[in-house]
Amino acid sequence: MKILLTNDDGIFAEGICALYEALYEEHEVYIVAPEAERSAVGHAITIHYPLRVNKVKRGRHFWGYAVSGTPADCVKLAIYELIGPVDLVISGINRGANVGINVIYSGTVSAATEAKMLGYPSFAVSVDGFEDIDFCFAANFMADVIQKIDEFQITKPFCLNINFPNVNPCCIKGIKVVRQSTAPLKEFFDRRIDLHGKVYYWQGAEEHTESSPDTDVIALKQGYITITPIMFDLTNYARLSSINKLAKLLDQII
Amino acid sequence: MKILLTNDDGIFAEGICALYEALYEEHEVYIVAPEAERSAVGHAITIHYPLRVNKVKRGRHFWGYAVSGTPADCVKLAIYELIGPVDLVISGINRGANVGINVIYSGTVSAATEAKMLGYPSFAVSVDGFEDIDFCFAANFMADVIQKIDEFQITKPFCLNINFPNVNPCCIKGIKVVRQSTAPLKEFFDRRIDLHGKVYYWQGAEEHTESSPDTDVIALKQGYITITPIMFDLTNYARLSSINKLAKLLDQII
């Protein structure tokens, strides 16, 4: 299989290396990833600045293409210019979970979404931890999934957001297919004063306020590997008919 | 009504000025917007750099807060730190339409989406043009909508993406409530050589490939004002059950 790997942690991040190690013997694997960390850039693309691409080595060997843009830029540039069509795109493995409200801010998930928008099946893969992360289990799990992907007969293109708990593999409780939690985060801004007496703010967020067990947030917290199918059509279909009534009233304005 | 205005064209853009002029006599209007253009940043937020806020004047009068971050940052910072709770958020008026696939890249729409995520009703407003834009008609139309908003009895919070054709108002054919087009764009990268002999790329896109009249892309092109309700839950519910079968097979792996 011809596989494109990308991420938002940057081309030399441990997670993308682990994926490569688990896949390169069985597949034709290419890496096109941001030259440095691009977390929380969501589905940003670079249209007001030119993009630069550098071939980079890991040790003595060609490793991949480092791009000056965002994860979504990497996918487009890989497909249209650097690699051509692929069989599959995998974004990750990300340091830190991508669940709940945070999915919309995630560069990792946006790269996978972009792949689906271009017509390619994709996975976004994350581990719920920032220290002492075991990327190997997630990487080998993904290799197994890919080996069996055709057996599963999933309609293509798909975009699956997969999150792994950062626990000893024997403690993983199983796999749950769950919806994205939409419960709000507890957010805050930390107001500080710089050395010149001027104000600046750090943006932060605490725990998700979710409690429903059929969500990614809670299932992951309970020790399950979570899978959420992701779409890019943002139309709120449930609201179309009620807004239609509004439009009829508005028609009287113009 | 207490109204927050933001955009992705920057705090001094013509479109946000037109909105302010149409609203300030009847409402308590606040402006918190990016200090410079932030187009195509999607739902990016700034977590790895501090945010700066400057009070700026237009002529001799206080105009608003210029933020060093993205449109989504502006909404969060306004609500949590600068302005407090509001009755409504309006993002725009944007130079250029925000329809079809492009909605996911749009800073304008993402600001409105962010407002809904925080529990506030919101509009994203754009005009389909880059030259000789008549912002007044769209601004006055929005003032009329807001004046009547309670009559419409829309369930709150809502997030409505509104696009205006850039034509003489008497040529506008009416208002259509439509879904977001998901047809692909014709995209390309323009490969160039800089003055030092190094390659760089400009990212570009041509027309939408859409043809269906029930979409924002086509209705706008036909001369209608388009309204699309937007959501931020990215779960592909239609796929949940089929992916569930996959999870059962995967359960055998672990």
A253: pLDDT strictly greater than 80: no
Cis peptide before A93 (omega within 30 of 0): yes
- Give me the residue from A109, A182, A243 closest to B177, CB to CB: A243
Contact present, A94 and A76 (Cβ < 8 Å): no
Cα A136 from Cα A194, distance rounded (Å): 41
* A160 burial via Cβ count (<10 Å: 0-12, 13-18, 19+): buried
Size of interface A-B (CB pairs under 8 A): 253
pLDDT at residue B101, rounded to an integer: 94
* Beta-sheet pairing, B185-193 with B199-208: antiparallel
pLDDT at residue B130, rounded to an integer: 92
Termini Cα distance of chain A = 56
**Mean pLDDT calculated for residue range A79-84:** 97
pLDDT at residue B148, rounded to an integer: 85
Helix (H, G, I), strand (E, B) or coil at B228: strand
Cis peptide before B154 (omega within 30 of 0): no
Helix (H, G, I), strand (E, B) or coil at B20: helix
Cα A19 from Cα B250, distance rounded (Å): 18
A21: pLDDT strictly greater than 90: yes
pLDDT at residue A44, rounded to an integer: 94
Give the whole-number percent of chain B exceeding pLDDT 70: 100
Nearest CA in chain B to A149: B246
Best residue of A175, A217, A234, A242 to probe chain B, by most B CBs closer than 10 Å: A234
Domain residue ranges of chain B, discontinuous segments joined by +: 2-181+209-250
Mean of the per-residue pLDDT values for chain B?
94
Query: A186 to each of A205, A208, B84, B209, how far by Cα in Å?
Result: 6, 7, 15, 41
Q: What is the pLDDT of residues B184-225, one digit of tens each?
A: 998 999 999 999 999 999 999 887 789 999 999 999 999 999
Give the whole-number percent of chain B exceeding pLDDT 90: 84
Cα A160 from Cα A36, distance rounded (Å): 24
- pLDDT tier at A11 (50, 70, 90 boundaries)? very high
Chain B residues closer than 8 Å to A244 by CB? 177
Chain A residues closer than 8 Å to B184 by CB? 117-119
B152: pLDDT strictly greater than 80: no
pLDDT at residue B116, rounded to an integer: 97
pLDDT at residue A119, rounded to an integer: 96
Q: What angle do CA B172, B175, B177 make, to 5 degrees?
A: 145
Helix (H, G, I), strand (E, B) or coil at B192: strand
Distance from CA of B169 to the nearest CA of A (A): 8
pLDDT at residue A40, rounded to an integer: 85
Query: A114 to each of A75, A180, B148, B165, how far by Cα in Å?
Result: 7, 18, 38, 28
Dihedrals phi, psi of B140, to nearest 5 degrees: -70, -35
Burial annotation B224-243 (CB, 10 A radius, 16+ → b, else e): bbbbbbbbbbbbbeebbeeb
User: pTM (2 decimals)?
Assistant: 0.95
The 8-class DSSP code of residue A48 comes to: S
- pLDDT tier at A94 (50, 70, 90 boundaries)? very high
**Mean pLDDT calculated for residue range A209-227:** 95
Contact present, B100 and B215 (Cβ < 8 Å): yes
pLDDT at residue B90, rounded to an integer: 98
Cα B208 from Cα A192, distance rounded (Å): 45
pLDDT at residue B176, rounded to an integer: 96
**If phi over 0 gives left and psi between -120 and 50 gives alpha, with beta otherwise, what is residue B134?**
beta
Q: Quote the CATH superfamily of domain A2-181+210-250.
A: Survival protein SurE-like phosphatase/nucleotidase (3.40.1210.10)
| Cβ pair A234:B103 closer than 8 A | yes
CATH of domain B2-181+209-250: 3.40.1210.10
Residue labelled with tokens 């779409």 = A231
Residue labelled with tokens 């400009």 = B202
**Least confident span in A62-76, A152-166, B33-47, B238-252:** B238-252
**Torsion angle, CA of A64/A68/A71/A74, rounded to 10 degrees?**
-50
**Mean pLDDT calculated for residue range A234-249:** 90
Best residue of A142, A164, A200, A201 to probe chain B, by most B CBs closer than 10 Å: A201
pLDDT at residue B182, rounded to an integer: 95
Closest alpha carbon to A179 in A109, A245, A103, A67: A103
A51 or B38: which leads in pLDDT: A51
Chain A residues closer than 8 Å to B232 by CB? 101, 104, 182, 234
